[in-house]
């Protein structure tokens, strides 16, 4: 077995979460629950948060209400003015049990949360509790005034959110081998959205429960629940939008201009190459949509190009098809950046934006590999490497080789 695989971030994170979860459950079962009413209230909140979360979402946090409730419990130092006594192990045990309970319906439908989700939940809550509970139990925060105490909670929540972002990026990097930097940048950018709402709700809820008691839990969780529903609706709109673009892209296949699945394959491979080159967020969205619609200009042709292979056409004809495709895209109301990428597929390589370079190279690779027989992938990759100066961007071709070496070919074949 590969020793590097054993020490991968994925293995280390899961092992750390497993050890912490096992130890927390054992200690809590041995010593019993302190302040069962408080534990029950926050356990119910986390369970409801997981139940109302959504699986398969592309959002960073699929269950923000559960995350806010868990962090609030980890940073809870008092209940209606009376100091609380629950410690780190009880916090982790309650949150883990509630998260598992809330996941039962999702698991029953075959859409249960990934192990990564639970590992991150355990470790982030454990981190927050370790930073806060021991000092709180020793009375270290009693001398702090209201504003200073609130700022402390916000600072701890912000640090916890940053740690969670690093964990999420490390897990994604370990599973996909995409560059860590862009993945972390995506996670940090997401903190400005739902992450901010989670941290704010966690801090406010902990402060409110400390003053007025458990009545604050349902009152202060309602705004985040409404925000979560809004994000869910937004995610559904985006999914519908993408399905519309995918259906439009299939028009060339239905009309017989391109082979079945060509646009989908080019889009998937373009996304992988884009991630390898460090693209993230909105840039990847533009790249995906442009790759899906890159051949739509062929609908204006009287006679279809054999097998839709535009890479073998004269440069002037490629340019004409690209401009026609861009004009069609603009008529659909899709982001103008997508139209610009489609229009510039046939421009000189040095003048193209990165997305257009990627679509051009991946489209050519897919067409050449499809027609080259059993050794198609290797042959197509070598043709791209040996093409004339400026035909294909060398950094894109090498990124394509790296992607293929991970996903399709052996390293020897791709190298």
Q: For the segment 279-314, what is each residue's pLDDT rounded down to a tens digit? A: 877 889 899 998 998 888 887 776 677 666 666 677
Contacts with 257 (C-beta within 8 Å, 6 or more apart), sequence order: 295, 298, 299, 301, 304, 305, 308
209-214: which pairs have CB atoms within 8 A and are 24 or more residues apart?
Answer: 209/38, 209/72, 209/76, 209/78, 209/79, 209/80, 210/76, 210/77, 210/78, 210/79, 210/80, 210/81, 211/80, 211/81, 212/80, 213/79, 213/80, 214/37, 214/38, 214/41, 214/79, 214/80
Q: For the segment 369-405, what is each residue's pLDDT rounded down to a tens digit? A: 876 666 677 888 888 888 776 788 889 989 898 888 8
Cβ neighbours around 23 below 10 Å, total = 15
Q: For the segment 148-193, what is each residue's pLDDT rounded down to a tens digit? A: 777 787 888 888 988 988 998 888 888 877 788 888 888 888 777 7
Instruction: Give residue 332's pLDDT band: very low, low, confident or very high (50, 70, 90).
Output: confident
d(CA 331, CA 2): 52
Q: State residue 90's pLDDT score.
A: 94
| Rg, the chain, Cα only | 26
**What DSSP string runs through 364-404?**
HHHHHHHHSGGGHHHHHHHHHHHSPTTSS-HHHHHHHHHHH
- 149, 151, 154, 156: CA torsion to nearest 10: -70
pTM of the model: 0.76
Q: State residue 3's pLDDT score.
A: 45
Structure tokens at 162: 């940053």
């Amino acid at each position: 077995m590969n020793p590097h695989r054993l020490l991968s971030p994925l293995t280390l994170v899961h092992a750390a979460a497993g050890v912490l979860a096992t130890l927390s459950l054992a200690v809590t079962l041995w010593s019993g629950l302190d302040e069962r009413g408080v534990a029950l209230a926050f356990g119910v909140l986390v369970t409801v948060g997981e139940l109302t979360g959504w699986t398969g979402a592309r959002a960073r946090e699929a269950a923000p209400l559960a995350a806010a409730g868990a962090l609030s419990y980890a940073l809870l130092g008092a209940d209606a003015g009376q100091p609380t006594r629950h410690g780190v192990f009880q916090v982790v045990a309650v949150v883990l049990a509630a998260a598992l309970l809330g996941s039962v319906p999702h698991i029953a439908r075959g859409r249960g949360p990934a192990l990564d989700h639970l590992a991150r939940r355990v470790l982030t809550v454990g981190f927050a509790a370790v930073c806060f509970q021991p000092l709180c139990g020793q009375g270290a925060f009693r001398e702090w005034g209201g504003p200073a105490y609130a700022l402390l909670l916000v600072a701890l929540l912000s640090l916890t959110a940053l740690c969670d972002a690093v964990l999420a990026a490390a897990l994604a990097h370990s599973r996909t081998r995409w560059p860590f930097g862009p993945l972390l940048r995506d996670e940090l950018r997401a903190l400005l959205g739902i992450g901010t709402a989670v941290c704010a709700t966690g801090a406010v809820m902990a402060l409110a429960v400390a003053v007025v008691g458990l009545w604050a839990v349902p009152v202060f969780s309602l705004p985040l629940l409404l925000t979560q529903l809004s994000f869910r609706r937004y995610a559904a709109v985006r999914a519908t939008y993408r399905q519309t673009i995918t259906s439009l892209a299939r028009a060339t296949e239905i009309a017989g201009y391109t082979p079945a699945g060509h646009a989908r394959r080019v889009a998937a491979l373009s996304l992988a190459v884009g991630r390898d080159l460090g693209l993230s967020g909105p840039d990847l969205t533009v790249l995906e949509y442009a790759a899906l619609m890159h051949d739509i200009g062929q609908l204006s042709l009287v006679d279809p190009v054999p097998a839709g292979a535009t890479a073998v056409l004269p440069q002037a004809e490629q340019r004409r098809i690209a401009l026609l495709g861009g004009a069609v895209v603009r008529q659909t109301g899709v982001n103008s950046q997508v139209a610009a990428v489609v229009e510039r597929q046939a421009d000189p390589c040095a003048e193209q934006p990165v997305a257009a370079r990627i679509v051009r190279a991946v489209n050519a690779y897919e067409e050449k590999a499809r027609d080259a027989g059993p050794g198609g992938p290797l042959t197509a990759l070598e043709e791209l490497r040996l093409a004339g100066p400026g035909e294909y961007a060398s950094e894109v071709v090498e990124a394509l080789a790296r992607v293929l070496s991970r996903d399709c070919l052996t390293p020897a074949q791709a190298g």
